[in-house]
Structure 1
Amino acid sequence: MQLTTGRVKAMTYKDYTEKEPKSRGRDWSSSLKSLGPGLLFAGAAVGTSHIVQSTRAGAEYGLALLPVIILAIVLKYPAFWFGPFYVGTTGNSLIEGYQKTFGKPVVGLFILLQAPIMTMITAAMAITTAGIAGSIFSISLEASFIGTTLILACSLLTFFGGYKVIEKLNKFFIITLSLGTLTATALVLPNIQWSFSTSDTPLFFSLATFATIIAVTGLMPSDITLSINNSLWSAAKNKTQGRKRSVLEEKIDFNSGYIGTAVLAVCFLLMGSGLLHGQNVDLSGGAVGFASQVISIYSSLLGKWIGYLVALSMLAVMFTTLMAVLDGFPRILTASYFAITNSSGDDHETRSIDKSLPFFFILLSIATLASLVINFMMGEFITFMNFVMTLVFIASPILATLNHFTVNGKTVEKHKRPGRLMNYWSLLAIISLTLLSIGFFYVRLFL
């Protein structure tokens, strides 16, 4: 194992822009070849939020929560888009943007806020992946043991393989899962009761339902932290290509992944609604049991063997999702460490994240803490998932605010900043997420 201190000669913004495509036609042609971070975004997003929460929402409430899911995806778009937008505009990641816009103390507070959430999300991804693996292969081992083993395996692949390996694996498996999910959804459409009402207590006046809305919204389509991951993956893609991708290329790449996550979220909800809603199915509280119920949706529609193959692809996507977070989260914290320790006069970070000592130790720390969580703090699977998604939801308006003011801050030239519509859209999202967070605390504390 070779560890580097991280100091390398970095390409400057000028180096990148000199190699940037100059015509719109060349932009479109080259952007099709440079898809990667957007699909990696989809691979990281299509995890517990889709397989667990979307399916569960459809099973318990039919189509009643479909508008909530769609609204969450639409509202959060600017916050996620600002990640690759910032890279396309400045050549820097959002972490560097935070440091230059708000100062090093804000980056330090960001680490304190996000490190525990990152650990919890990693544990949630690992236990979900373990549940699917245990269901497919009828493994008698505890899900916590399987999850710990998966964390170890993904950590090794992440550190030694790096960005290129993750991107290649993810492209294949996310396409496989997408084809299987779209096919299954098409077959279940005749079974769906096309009603947006629910026979339970009034939807938005039920405390249990409000908690479910918070959980679903928190990770739909994903944690806003993924916008920072996306900016770092875009920066890594620039290095592999030897040039800085244009804003247009970044947008095509990002939209391909974002729209894909939205479609798949709706598909999982429709499958849960068509096959589980109104059937008096007692949803399992354990990871293996819940995964078995989700996989049975595919098997009942497509047949045993085809369902088995789709289940394998689902496992593969969860595996690459776990790889993505075990690369992305240490990458964020390493970039944050570099931003804090960077000389204040430097315009660009000159240290390489991949295989650096800080990246190794941070990856080791997250993997160890996540393993401890799934072995000693997991408890009831569904309860744990709600707890994780609630933490994510509370952090969402904070990260959305940081992203908004970073892309409109001093590091971005005025004529390159987002347009008025996108900024109003972003502010609406921040206000909405903040109000929902306040409402959540009010319900928890006073009702």
Structure 2
Amino acid sequence: MPVKELDSAPLRTGLPLWQLLQRVVGPGILFASCAIGVSHLVQSTRAGALYGFDLALFIILANVLKFPFFEYGTRYACATGRSILWGYRQRGRWMLLLYLVLTGVSMFSVASAVTFVCAGLFGNLLGLAAAATPWVAGGILLVCVLLLAADKFSLLDGSLKILALVLLITTLTAFFALMWDWASGQLPERRLDLSNTDIFAAGSLPFIIALMGWMPTAVDLSAWNSIWTVEKIRQTGYHPTLKESLFDFNLGYWFSAGLALCFLSLGALVMWGSGTPLSDSSVGFAAQLISLYTAAIGDWIYYIIAIAAATVMFSTVITVLDGYSRALDETLLLLSPRFLRKRSGQRLYTPILLLVAGGSFMIISLLATGLAALVDFATILSFIIAPFIALINYRVILGKEVARAHQPGRGMRILSWLGIIFLSGFTLVYGYYLLVLA
């Protein structure tokens, strides 16, 4: 949608707070629904179970130093009325082609990983064996495709807030219950320092990279923020101010960051040092995940948290399928010589949706177990891609089409370069590990 069309949308002032939140809040919740999935339920929990609290610093660093590159997607959409993919195209076709290649490399592993975990949670809830995971995954993908093809945005925007709230309440309840038990000496002694030298062993590096790869999620998914922001404006007819848009984004971003530390704590306080091996089956791991809550709150919470975790993970699958389909649809149309033509709807959305879902099912059908391997591969791949997307987003947000009032300030620019150095540095270290130490 051209900028002038969005600028002509009425800027409604004097609205009641609830009505304003309805018009503004949405894309940030979608981001949180996308982020609170594998990175939290699987990776953060595994980090706590394997290393106690020793990897908390890496979770904090990843969330803080990746922050600018996700925020720029929302900032660009608010400033220009277009997704940041348009900004890629303004820099040249090569940048959009690079994004297309990077997305094509990672999308099937990402989509299959989140669906595999979701299938495990539903399989555990329904009492199914691990062998049924591919069929459960196929059913989940089919339902997602049907729902998204019928109603591509309003379904997401309207239904996921309740699921996120349920998971938030139950996770915080379990977290504070366990912290109380730990403080009162009712749990085995747990370390709260960073003194475990195991994290500095070369063999720990792949997991640390995998943990940060999707913390809070993959950087290449930052384009989705801007796409959802533009879609929200189209849906409501309300063009929020930069402050309003960033409020929505910050709400979802830091909400997901805080929950990552909660899941780390659940794994550390219940599983670390217990001698209980982590299951490599998605169904088995789901059972272990639910046990974190029952250990903290009681057996009565089992079905509540099992349903909440499964449905929130289902929301992650929906947002991942929707995000990839929207991003690839817009990318291919921008690469077309006739990309400026007017078009109604997302003409390539459904075929791409079917492609992503079908490719994901094929990968999952080959895996009865192998949860850790699939998740680590997808997350490490995302981390390797991250420096390229981070640098692109930084260049785009400083483009001439972005008004100075909407460009990041000095503090954000410094944080951006720290983030680029951080992501690039760890990628080079991991490359050295693969070539020399592995």
Q: TM-score range by the shorter chain?
A: over 0.9
Residue 21 (structure 1) shift: 3.1
Mapped to 2, the partners of 1:183 and 1:68 lie a distance apart of 24
Mapped to 2, the partners of 1:28 and 1:133 lie a distance apart of 37
- TM-superposition CA deviations, 1:279-322 (whole Å, max 9, x none): 11111111111111001111222222322111101100001110
Contact 1:37–1:237 (CA<8 Å) still a contact in 2? yes
Contact 1:215–1:390 (CA<8 Å) still a contact in 2? yes
Alignment match, 2:108: 119
Alignment match, 1:37: 27
Secondary structure of the 1:442 match is: helix
1:203 to 2:193 alignment = no
Q: Mean Cα displacement is larger for which, 364-373 or 413-422?
A: 413-422
Alignment match, 1:275: 270
Alignment match, 2:417: 427
- TM-superposition CA deviations, 1:405-425 (whole Å, max 9, x none): 000013213343211111111
Mapped to 2, the partners of 1:123 and 1:46 lie a distance apart of 16
Residue 381 (structure 1) shift: 1.3
Mapped to 2, the partners of 1:159 and 1:208 lie a distance apart of 44
Alignment match, 1:136: 125
Contact 2:11–2:238 (CA<8 Å) still a contact in 1? no
Contact 1:27–1:246 (CA<8 Å) still a contact in 2? no
1:97 to 2:93 alignment = no
- TM-superposition CA deviations, 1:241-297 (whole Å, max 9, x none): 113222111111001101100111010000001100111111111111111100111
1:253 to 2:243 alignment = no
1:351 to 2:343 alignment = yes
Mapped to 1, the partners of 2:207 and 2:194 lie a distance apart of 16
Contact 2:281–2:368 (CA<8 Å) still a contact in 1? no
Residue 30 (structure 1) shift: 5.7
Residue 232 and residue 353 in structure 1: after superposition, are their counterparts in 2 closer, same or farther (change >3 A)? farther
Residue 415 and residue 342 in structure 1: after superposition, are their counterparts in 2 closer, same or farther (change >3 A)? farther
Mapped to 2, the partners of 1:30 and 1:422 lie a distance apart of 30
Q: Percent identity?
A: 33
Pick one of 67, 70, 80 that aligns with 1:80: 70
Contact 1:93–1:231 (CA<8 Å) still a contact in 2? yes
Contact 1:17–1:244 (CA<8 Å) still a contact in 2? yes
Pick one of 303, 310, 314 that aligns with 2:309: 314
Mapped to 1, the partners of 2:198 and 2:136 lie a distance apart of 40
Alignment match, 2:185: none
Residue 26 (structure 1) shift: 5.8
Alignment match, 1:219: 214
Structure 2: gaps (5+ residues): 183-188
Q: What are the within-5 Å matches in structure 2 for residues 27-426 of structure 1?
A: 31-33=20-22, 34-101=24-91, 103-140=92-129, 141-189=131-179, 190-191=181-182, 193-199=190-196, 201-204=197-200, 206-341=201-336, 343=338, 346=340, 350-354=342-346, 356=347, 358-376=348-366, 380-426=370-416
Structure 1: gaps (5+ residues): 1-9
Residue 377 (structure 1) shift: 5.8
Contact 2:175–2:296 (CA<8 Å) still a contact in 1? no
Mapped to 1, the partners of 2:406 and 2:312 lie a distance apart of 36
